[in-house]
Amino acid sequence: MELFETMLQHTSVRSFTQEKLSDERKEQLVLSAQSASSSNFLQAFSIIEITDSEKRKAIEQIANFPVDNGDKGTLYIFVADLNKHAQVLALNGDSLEHLRTMESLVVSIVDATLAAQSMAVFAESNDLGICYVGGIRNNLFKMKELLELPALTYPVFGMFVGYPAEKNEVKPRLPIHAVLGENSYRSLTAEMINDYNKTTSDYYQARSSNIQSTNWSEKVRQQFEYPRRKNTVEFLKKQGFVF
């Protein structure tokens, strides 16, 4: 399948076979992540593969990952990482003041995200399945303890990679005219929202598993019904960032 078609067929995989990734394939996954663009070539991210069964069990409980995953699939944690750069500055006797800023944090999160998506595209182009796991942020302080994270790092998300046992149907994305503006920002209209709600409602009611009576607007409302992960700023401040 051509890469473009592979990308359009992306769907999160939550059920993997017992087949293990070879060491060669895992090296390719990490190298593909490293090939992603990086702001000013800072490469401000780290990747942690979770092989310890107890740590993995604890992380899956934190994330509430909705499968009986056990040891199926390989679990990577993507970390926004400015600790390496702090070491460089310290060796040269430079101040860390400007490393601790919101902008520096954003740069590291972007780097980690680009690396993860590069890995995801490579994985899916080689018949693997992936699932991002933002739920690791449900308990940042426990994740810090489990991963032994130093200052100026932030665990952004996890990613399972493995051989799919089954795949969900592809979710219908927003129409292209809802995300693409020309020379200026394009706002949604009530008509566009209503049309997309109908599309997503049909999808949720017709898919083969986890059928729901919902639509995109309802998902948005549920997501922002109350503040989530309210200790994120506290965690980041304790990690050495200044806001």
Mean pLDDT taken over the chain: 95
Quick: pLDDT tens for 143-165: 999 999 999 999 999 999 999 99
Cα distance between residue 116 and residue 108, in whole Å: 12
Distance of alpha carbon 237 from its chain centroid, rounded?
Answer: 22
Sign (positive or negative) of CA dihedral 203, 118, 23, 74: negative
Q: What is the pLDDT, as a whole number, of residue 66? A: 56
Lowest-confidence segment of 49-58, 77-86, 216-225 by average pLDDT:
49-58
Residue in 82, 63, 223 with CA at minimum distance from that of residue 159: 63
Q: What is the pLDDT, as a whole number, of residue 67? A: 46
Cα distance between residue 51 and residue 11, in whole Å: 25
CATH topology assigned to domain 7-168+227-238: NADH Oxidase (3.40.109)
What's the predicted TM-score (pTM) here? Answer: 0.95
Domain map (residue ranges) of the chain:
7-168+227-238
Quick: pLDDT tens for 55-112: 999 999 999 875 445 678 999 999 999 999 999 999 999 999 999 999 999 999 999 9
Q: What is the pLDDT, as a whole number, of residue 48? A: 98
Taking CA atoms, 50 is separated from 20, 24, 66, 69, 84, in Å, by 14, 17, 18, 13, 21
Which residue carries 């942020």 as its tokens?
Answer: 137
Phi, psi dihedral angles at 225 (to 5 degrees): -70, -30
- Assess contact for 162 and 19: CB atoms under 8 A: yes
